[in-house]
């Protein structure tokens, strides 16, 4: 498996190693950033070697409670993130998207899902032992699991997370999780270790708390965290929920940011525009966006749907219920189902408290679930006098938008902000 020509996991491992070698030698790189890349390397190396080591692999979609897998010593494979990482680190997802197209995946479907299907079909990702997935956070996700089961010929389990969050639905979802644990125990032959799950939940609670504290520090002017650093926060939640590495990373980051605040140092030389990021920027444009941020003094200070956790704590003494609780606290689930006033209030609160000048909506054209919110968000932000730039794009499909287009739109927007 390691030597397969199109092995995306191996490509990510290789890219992580190269980046790490570069940044380890750079005295200006944040220590936490080095830790972050080490974590990525660890995740993908473990995944790459799982088969050879006789480990059980569960592929899972975004926001699936990977805590369960980790507590059972099952190797998780986060499918969407792996598609992104492929785009981010190799700059190219064309081959897996083409493989998806050969399966009949329409270009109108969001590319992480097209890519995921194509990657499994073409052998670019290892065949999982099971597929586990949920309807968090969109309909594409709800369907993708079945497709992966079909392509890989593996068994699977779907968790239903109801839209509403009264006690009844949470009890129902806890039942779903218990059924899934039974399914995993049956397929993997491994037993759920509830003590371990409690420990993971306890750490997850700390992880959320630390993310909140990091966000508090980002309120400072100038903001101490890098322009697109929020992707690190997002990724560690996706790949390392409740893991000691996440806590160590967040504590280090927090200390670094505190020090910068003390020294009144900003993440970029001259902060001019404090941005709110709505949805995910195209991965293949990350280095361009980083460069543009520094050039133009624009920095993302808050992301209501990625880093701004809902209120609440996780009770480690009832770990299954805590996993359910988390499913209702995840920032992005504010977009799940009917939006409701609370989601709109959350973005207005973020705009006010983080002193946001403008918001950038990376409108993933294949994501009907998020695109349907554009007007609502725009209207809500208009109430707090925050203009919104909408960039039609795709997280990984390079054919949707070009660097030139994004630069043009961003520069127009910065001019608008400057001219106000």
Roughly how many angstroms between the first and final C-alpha of the chain, as a whole number? 56
Interacting partner of 412 out of another protein, ligand SF4, none (Cβ under 5 to 8 A depending on kind) = another protein
Query: Could you give the CA distance from residue 229 to residue 235 in angstroms, rounded to a whole number?
Result: 10
Interacting partner of 315 out of ligand SF4, another protein, none (Cβ under 5 to 8 A depending on kind) = none
Binders of ligand SF4 among 347-376, rule CB under 6 A?
A: 364, 367, 369-370
Least distance between another protein and beta carbon 360 (Å):
14
Cβ atoms 155, 148 nearer than 8 A: no
Give the full edge-to-edge strand order of the sheet including 273-278: 298-302, 273-278, 358-364, 388-393
Where are the strands (E) in 311-406, listed by range?
Answer: 358-364, 388-393
Q: Is 143 in the site for ligand SF4 (CB under 6 A)?
A: no
- DSSP code of residue 189: -
Least distance between another protein and beta carbon 323 (Å):
40
Interacting partner of 108 out of another protein, ligand SF4, none (Cβ under 5 to 8 A depending on kind) = none
Interacting partner of 387 out of ligand SF4, another protein, none (Cβ under 5 to 8 A depending on kind) = another protein
Binders of another protein among 179-218, rule CB under 8 A?
A: none
Structure tokens at 305: 């749907």
Instruction: Return the C-alpha torsion angle 36, 38, 40, 41, nearest 10.
Output: 170
Least distance between ligand SF4 and beta carbon 87 (Å):
13
Least distance between another protein and beta carbon 344 (Å):
17
Least distance between another protein and beta carbon 416 (Å):
5
Could you tell me which residues are beta bridge partners of residue 300?
275
DSSP string, 270-286: S--EEEEEESPPPGGGH
Helix (H, G, I), strand (E, B) or coil at 48: helix
Segment interacting with ligand SF4, rule: CB under 6 A, options 52-60, 134-142, 338-346, 410-418: 134-142
Segment interacting with another protein, rule: CB under 8 A, options 85-93, 132-140, 182-190, 410-418: 410-418
Binders of another protein among 53-82, rule CB under 8 A?
A: none
State which residue, 168 or 416, has the beta carbon closest to another protein: 416
Can you give the length of the chain in residues? 420
* Interface characters, 330-369, with another protein (x: CB under 8 A): ----------------------------------------
Binders of another protein among 374-393, rule CB under 8 A?
A: 375, 382, 387-388, 392
Interacting partner of 160 out of ligand SF4, another protein, none (Cβ under 5 to 8 A depending on kind) = none
Nearest to 128 by CA among 53, 67, 47: 47
Interacting partner of 3 out of ligand SF4, another protein, none (Cβ under 5 to 8 A depending on kind) = none
Sequence-ordered list of residues with C-beta below 8 angstroms from that of 245, at least 6 positions apart, any chain = 35, 39, 42, 236
Cβ atoms 275, 358 nearer than 8 A: yes
Q: Is 416 in the site for another protein (CB under 8 A)?
A: yes
Q: Is 112 in the site for ligand SF4 (CB under 6 A)?
A: yes
Query: Residue 288 burial by CB count (10 A; 0-12/13-18/19+): exposed, middle or buried?
Result: middle
H-run or E-run covering 91: none
- DSSP code of residue 304: T
Query: Could you give the CA distance from residue 298 to residue 75 in angstroms, rounded to a whole number?
Result: 38
Least distance between ligand SF4 and beta carbon 406 (Å):
17
Interacting partner of 375 out of ligand SF4, another protein, none (Cβ under 5 to 8 A depending on kind) = another protein
Least distance between ligand SF4 and beta carbon 5 (Å):
27
- Exposure string (b/e) for 158-174, b if CB count within 10 Å is 16 or more? bbebbeebeeebbeebb
Q: Is 237 in the site for ligand SF4 (CB under 6 A)?
A: no
Which residue is it, tokens 């939940």? 201
Least distance between another protein and beta carbon 223 (Å):
25
Taking the mean position of all CA atoms in its chain, how far away is CA 107? 22
Contact residues toward another protein (CB under 8 A) are 375, 382, 387-388, 392, 405, 408, 411-412, 415-416, 419-420
Contact residues toward ligand SF4 (CB under 6 A) are 80, 110, 112-113, 137-138, 140-141, 364, 367, 369-370
């Amino acid at each position: 498996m390691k030597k397969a020509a199109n092995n995306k996991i191996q490509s990510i491992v290789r890219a992580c190693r190269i980046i790490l070698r570069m940044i380890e030698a750079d005295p200006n790189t944040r220590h936490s950033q080095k830790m972050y890349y080490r974590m990525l390397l660890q995740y993908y190396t473990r995944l790459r070697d799982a088969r050879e080591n006789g480990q059980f692999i569960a592929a899972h979609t975004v926001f699936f409670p990977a805590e369960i897998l980790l507590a059972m010593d099952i190797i998780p494979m986060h499918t969407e993130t792996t598609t992104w990482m492929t785009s981010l680190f190799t700059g190219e997802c064309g081959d897996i998207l083409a493989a998806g197209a050969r399966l009949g995946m329409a270009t109108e479907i969001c590319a992480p899902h097209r890519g995921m299907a194509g990657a499994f079909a073409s052998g670019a990702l290892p065949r999982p032992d099971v597929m586990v997935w949920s309807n968090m956070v969109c309909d594409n996700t709800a369907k993708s699991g079945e497709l992966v089961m079909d392509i890989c010929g593996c068994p699977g389990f779907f968790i239903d997370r109801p839209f509403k969050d009264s006690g009844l639905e949470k009890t129902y979802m806890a039942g779903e999780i218990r059924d899934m644990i039974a399914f995993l125990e049956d397929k993997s032959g491994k037993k759920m270790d509830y003590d371990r799950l409690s420990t993971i939940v306890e750490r997850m609670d700390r992880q959320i708390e630390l993310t909140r504290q990091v966000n508090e520090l980002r309120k400072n002017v100038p903001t101490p965290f890098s322009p697109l650093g929020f992707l690190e926060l997002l990724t560690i939640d996706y790949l390392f929920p409740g893991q000691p590495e996440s806590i160590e990373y967040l504590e280090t980051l927090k200390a670094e940011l505190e020090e910068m605040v003390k020294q009144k140092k900003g993440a970029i030389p001259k902060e001019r525009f404090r941005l709110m990021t709505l949805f995910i920027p195209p991965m293949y444009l990350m280095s361009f966006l980083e460069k543009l941020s520094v050039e133009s003094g624009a920095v993302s200070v808050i992301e209501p749907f990625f880093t701004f956790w809902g209120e609440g704590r996780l009770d480690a003494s009832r770990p299954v219920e805590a996993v359910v609780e988390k499913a209702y606290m995840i920032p992005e689930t504010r977009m799940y189902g009917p939006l409701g006033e609370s989601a709109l209030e959350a973005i207005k609160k973020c705009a006010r408290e983080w002193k946001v000048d403008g918001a950038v909506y990376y409108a993933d054209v294949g994501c009907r679930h998020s695109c349907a919110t554009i007007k609502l968000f725009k209207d809500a932000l208009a109430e707090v006098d925050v203009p919104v730039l909408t960039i039609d794009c795709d997280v990984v499909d390079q054919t949707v938008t070009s660097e030139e287009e994004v630069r043009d739109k961003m520069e127009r927007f910065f001019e608008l902000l400057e001219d106000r």
